[in-house]
Amino acid sequence: MRIDLTGKTALVTGSTQGIGRAIAATLADAGARVAINGRRAEGVTATIDELREESGSRELVAATGDVSDATGADEVLTATGDVDILINNLGIFGSMPALEIDDDEWRRYFEVNVLAAVRLIRSSLPGMTARGWGRVLNIASDSAIVIPAEMIHYGVSKTALLGVSRGFAKEAAGTGVTVNSVVAGPTHTGGVEKFVYELVDPDLPWDEAQREFMRLHRPQSLLQRLIEPEEIANLVAYLSSPLASATTGAAVRVDGGYVDSILP
C-alpha cells in the first residue's frame, strides 16, 4: 500500500511542533506540498529549515498567521493557495478546576479549538468540491469522548469538533470530498510533558513520570504508554490519501485503546 499525495497541497495548522509537525513531515514525504503554519514567522521558518534538513525532497511553504482570528486565517490561506488537504490540528489545552473556568476561558477554547477549524473549512470546502476532490481532517481527542475532570473546557471543545466534522461531511456529500475526525489519544509532545508534570511529582525522571501519569490519570489505556506523534501522522496520511475514499463523516480512533468503547 503506497500513499502518494503528489500534486496535492496540504495545510496543517499548528505545525511548528508536536503532532502538527509530525503530520506535516509525513504528508511531505508522501509527495504533498505542505504549508507550515504557526503564529510567529521565526518559528515557521525554523521548522521549515529543520524539515528540509531532515529530507531535502520535501516541498514546504510558509503560512504564518493566527487562524483563530479571521484576518490571520485569510493570510494563511493566501500564503497556501488552493487547499486540497486541510488538517485542522491547532489546539490548546490545560488543566483547571471546573468551577474556576470563567466565560472568557470557555470562549477562548472554542475560538481556538472549534471556530478556527470551522472558519478554514468554510473557506476551503467550496474549492475542494468544485475540483471534485479534497480531504478535511479535524484532529480531535479521546477527551472528546471521555471528558477529563481536570479540563472539561478542552474536552467539550473537542466534542464539538466531532460534530463539526460530521456536519461538514454531510455538506460535502457526493462531491468527492471527505471530512473526518481523528481521535488522538494521550500523545508524547512537549506540551504534554509539561502537562504531565503538572499532575505528578515534578522531580521524577521522564520515564517514571510518564508511567505514573498513565497509571493515575489514564489507566484505561491499552497501550499503557503515550503515543508518539508519528503514530498519529501515519493515520492522518492514510485518511488524506485517495486510498481512504470511502471513509467520511467518521471519528477514527488512534488512541491506544484509551476509549473503552467499540464505537466509534
Residue 45 maps to which CATH number? 3.40.50.720
What pLDDT was estimated at residue 141?
97
User: Are residues 122 and 220 both part of a single domain?
Assistant: no
Cell (9 digits) for 155: 474536552
User: Are residues 49 and 135 both part of a single domain?
Assistant: yes
Q: Structurally, how many domains does the chain consist of?
A: 2
The model's pLDDT over 17-72, given as tens digits with 9 standing for 90+, comes to 999 999 999 999 999 999 999 999 999 999 999 999 999 999 999 999 999 999 99
User: Are residues 156 and 216 both part of a single domain?
Assistant: no
Higher pLDDT, 261 or 254: 254
What pLDDT was estimated at residue 43?
98
What pLDDT was estimated at residue 1?
85
Assess if residue 254 is contained within a domain. Answer: no
Assess if residue 262 is contained within a domain. Answer: no
User: Are residues 168 and 221 both part of a single domain?
Assistant: no
Mean pLDDT (whole number) for 194-204: 93
DSSP 149: T
User: Are residues 174 and 216 both part of a single domain?
Assistant: no
User: Are residues 172 and 195 both part of a single domain?
Assistant: no
The model's pLDDT over 223-253, given as tens digits with 9 standing for 90+, comes to 989 999 999 999 999 999 999 999 999 999 9
User: Are residues 168 and 179 both part of a single domain?
Assistant: yes
User: Are residues 124 and 207 both part of a single domain?
Assistant: no
User: Are residues 102 and 210 both part of a single domain?
Assistant: no
User: Are residues 206 and 242 both part of a single domain?
Assistant: no
The model's pLDDT over 65-95, given as tens digits with 9 standing for 90+, comes to 999 999 999 999 999 999 999 999 999 999 9
Cβ density class 54-82: b for 16+ within 10 Å, e for less: eeeebebbbbbbbbbbeebbebbbebbee
Stated pTM of the model: 0.95
Assess if residue 116 is contained within a domain. Answer: yes
What pLDDT was estimated at residue 192?
87
User: Are residues 101 and 192 both part of a single domain?
Assistant: no
Is residue 195 scored above 90 in pLDDT?
no
Task: Return the active site residues.
Answer: 154
User: Are residues 37 and 112 both part of a single domain?
Assistant: yes
Mean pLDDT (whole number) for 125-139: 98
CA geometry: angle 134, 138, 139, nearest 5 deg: 135
Assess if residue 109 is contained within a domain. Answer: yes
Q: Which of 261, 56, 47 is nearest to 146 (CA)?
A: 261
| CB-CB contact of 32 with 10 (8 Å) | yes
Assess if residue 4 is contained within a domain. Answer: no
Assess if residue 174 is contained within a domain. Answer: yes
pLDDT bracket for residue 264 (50, 70, 90): confident
Domain residues for the domain of 139 are 9-187+228-248
**Runs of H (alpha helix) within the chain:** 18-29, 41-54, 70-80, 103-110, 116-131, 152-171, 190-199, 206-217, 229-239
CA geometry: angle 234, 235, 238, nearest 5 deg: 90
What pLDDT was estimated at residue 204?
96
What pLDDT was estimated at residue 191?
84
